[in-house]
Amino acid sequence: MSAASYPVLLTIHLLCALMFVGTVFFEVLVLDSVRRRVPAEAMRAVERGIGQRVRWLMPIVIVTLFSAGFGLAAHYGEQLTHPAGNPFAILLLLKIGLACSVFGHFLLASYWRMCELFTLRRSRLLHLSVFCHVVLIVLLAKGMFHIQFID
């Protein structure tokens, strides 16, 4: 990877992460609260509208986010192959593992939708799980540059 492409990939990755994490936060912290205050019929219309937009936009965001992430991870290939004693590499591997789990959640939701098994309860549990994952990913992303292990 050229020195010029790293900042471009990082910017793309951060912008996509903002869109994805922002969407997850909105759905978990805002939409769930609104659901209790809005008539059911109106809420269904709102959720349908948001759902259509999210189902169109999120696959693009996720593919771009992961593609940029793979490019960024390639930059740290040597550290990732030998992470022992390297806090940055260990935290990055944890972050990658959590991101893969989030991708698995996305695939599971797609499967449930396709098989018409996507219930409100499953949706809430899935969103809550992804919310916890993205909070940890954000903390790990920040910690990668600041956490040092004590020898």
pLDDT computed for residue 151 by the predictor = 57
pLDDT computed for residue 1 by the predictor = 66
Which amino acid would we find at residue 121? R
pLDDT computed for residue 36 by the predictor = 87
Gap between the Cα atoms of 96 and 29, Å rounded: 25
Whole-structure pTM value: 0.88
pLDDT computed for residue 80 by the predictor = 94
pLDDT computed for residue 149 by the predictor = 72
* 25 touches 131 (CB < 8 A): yes
In a structure prediction context, what are the per-residue pLDDT tens digits for the chain, which is 151 residues long?
Answer: 677 799 999 999 999 999 999 999 999 999 988 988 999 999 989 989 998 999 899 999 999 999 999 999 999 999 999 998 899 999 999 999 999 999 999 999 999 999 999 998 998 999 999 999 999 999 999 999 888 776 5
DSSP 32: H
pLDDT computed for residue 150 by the predictor = 65
pLDDT computed for residue 85 by the predictor = 85
* 91 touches 143 (CB < 8 A): yes
pLDDT computed for residue 148 by the predictor = 78
Going from N- to C-terminal start, the domains of the chain cover 5-143
* 95 touches 141 (CB < 8 A): yes
